[in-house]
Amino acid sequence: MIVSKVTYTGKLHTEAVHLASGSRIQTDAPVDNHGKGEAFSPTDLLSSSLACCMFTMMGIVAERHEMDISGSYASVEKIMESDPRRVGTIIIRMTIADRELSEKQKEILEHTARTCPVLLSLSGEMVKELDLSFEAAAAID
């Protein structure tokens, strides 16, 4: 299934178009590799996609179990390696909006995050860290 069309637009920039929706993403090479940092780098997207996938899967499970995790957020840290140049470590610090979640619900959400398709697709050599915390929703909203 073809999902996108990617065009090299010059000067180390690309544009990806999601064919079903027309949504667009632009990239630039990273500052430490000849880019200007004017957009996500491809490795930024890879790293951010992990958090997006975790939230998407958790959202599906939350809806199924009538939980509201809206307002939850994550920071994404990417650590590059060399020889060959690659993402060596992704650290996700995720804060889940806790609207009186039970311990069982918290376990379900954490398991879901740790088994998302993007995480399971990444190289076993890559370090993937998830720091998951729950915070009262009122403090997040």
Pairing assessment for the beta strands 127-136 and 86-98 based on DSSP bridges = parallel
25/49 same-domain check: no
- Return the pLDDT at 137: 78
User: Which contacts qualify for 75-81: CB closer than 8 Å, 24 or more apart?
Assistant: 76/47, 76/48, 76/50, 76/51, 77/47, 78/43, 78/44, 78/46, 78/47, 79/127, 80/32, 80/43
Residue of 84, 95, 85, 93 lying closest to 134 (CA atoms): 95
69/96 same-domain check: yes
**140 has a pLDDT exceeding 90:** no
pLDDT tens digits along 9-22? 999 999 999 999 99
Both tokens assigned to 86: 């690659």
131/70 same-domain check: yes
pLDDT tens digits along 48-63? 999 999 999 999 999 9
81/96 same-domain check: yes
31/56 same-domain check: no
pTM: 0.94
**141 has a pLDDT exceeding 90:** no
**Cα separation, 62 vs 56, whole angstroms:** 10
20/61 same-domain check: no
Find the domain containing 26 and state its range.
1-40
Which of 58-62, 113-117, 123-127, 137-141 bottoms out in mean pLDDT, i.e. has the lowest? 137-141
65/7 same-domain check: no
99/124 same-domain check: yes
Tell me which amino acid residue 79 is: I
69/30 same-domain check: no
List the CATH number of the domain containing 107: 3.30.300.20
Domain count of the fold of the chain: 2
